[in-house]
Amino acid sequence: MGRRSMSPTDALARALSHYEANRDAHVESLKALARIPSVSFAGYDPENVKRSAEATVSWLRDAGMPTVELWDLPGTHPCVFAEWSGPENAPTVLLYAHHDVQPPMREELWKSPPFEPTERDGRLYGRGTADDKAGIAVHAASLAAWLKTAGTLPVNIKVLIEGEEEIGSPHLAEYLQHYKSRLACDYMVLTDLSNYDVGKPSLTTSLRGLITIDVTVAALKSPLHSGMWGGPIPDPVAGICKMLATLTDERGRVAVPGLLEQVVPPTPEESADFRALGMTEEIFREQAGILEGVSLFGSASELLSMTWREPAFSINAVEAGLRKSAGNVLLDSAWARIGLRLAPGMDPDRCTAIVLEHLQATCPWGLRLEAVPEQGAKPWKTRPDHPVFEVAKKSLSAGYGSEAVCIGCGGTIPFVDMFTGVLGDVPALLVGIEDPYTNAHSENESLHLGDFDKAVRSQIRFFANLGEFESKRNPTSRT
Mean pLDDT throughout 380-397?
A: 94
Per-residue confidence (pLDDT) for residue 472, from 0 to 100: 81
Mean pLDDT throughout 174-193?
A: 96
SS3 assignment, position 77: coil
SS3 assignment, position 376: strand
In terms of DSSP H, where are the helices of 277-386? 281-288, 303-309, 348-362
- How many residues make up the chain in this entry? 479
From residue 58, how far is each of 108, 144, 163, 308, 452 by CA, in Å? 33, 13, 16, 38, 21
The pLDDT tens digits for 423-450 are 988 999 999 899 999 999 999 999 999 9
Residue 130 sits at φ, ψ, to 5 deg, of -110, -50
Identity at 470, one-letter amino acid code: E
- Give Cβ neighbours of residue 274 (< 8 Å, ≥ 6 apart): 266, 304, 305, 308, 408
Mean pLDDT throughout 280-303?
A: 94
Mean pLDDT throughout 13-37?
A: 98
For the CA atoms of 421, 206, 297, 194, the dihedral, rounded to the nearest 10 degrees, stands at -110
Domain ranges of the chain: 3-207+379-473, 209-267+299-377
At the second CATH level, the architecture of 3-207+379-473 is: 3-Layer(aba) Sandwich (3.40)
Distance between CA atoms of residues 340 and 314, nearest Å? 6
Per-residue confidence (pLDDT) for residue 1, from 0 to 100: 39
Q: Which of 117-131, 195-209, 245-259, 413-427 has the lowest mean pLDDT?
A: 413-427
Mean pLDDT throughout 374-400?
A: 93
Distance between CA atoms of residues 196 and 308, nearest Å? 12
Q: Is the pLDDT of residue 5 over 70?
A: no
- ∠ Cα 106 413 308 (to 5°): 95
Going by DSSP bridges, is the β-strand pair 368-377/405-409 parallel, antiparallel, or unpaired? unpaired
Residue 284 sits at φ, ψ, to 5 deg, of -60, -45
Per-residue confidence (pLDDT) for residue 89, from 0 to 100: 83
Per-residue confidence (pLDDT) for residue 355, from 0 to 100: 98
The pLDDT tens digits for 57-73 are 999 999 999 999 999 99
Per-residue confidence (pLDDT) for residue 475, from 0 to 100: 61
- Count the neighbouring beta carbons within 10 Å of the beta carbon of residue 263: 17
Q: Which of 470, 432, 466 lies closest to 451 in space, CA to CA?
A: 432
Mean pLDDT throughout 100-109?
A: 96
Domain 209-267+299-377 falls in which CATH fold?
Alpha-Beta Plaits (3.30.70)
Q: Is the pLDDT of residue 417 over 90?
A: no
Could you tell me what percent of the chain has a pLDDT over 70?
Answer: 98
Mean pLDDT throughout 9-14?
A: 96
Average pLDDT, the chain: 94
Q: Are 400 and 448 in contact (CB under 8 A)?
A: no
Q: Is the pLDDT of residue 290 over 90?
A: yes
Directed axis angle between helix 449-473 and helix 387-400, to 10°? 140
Q: Is the pLDDT of residue 3 over 80?
A: no
The pLDDT tens digits for 304-319 are 999 999 999 999 999 9
Q: Which of 192-196, 228-232, 409-413 has the lowest mean pLDDT?
A: 409-413
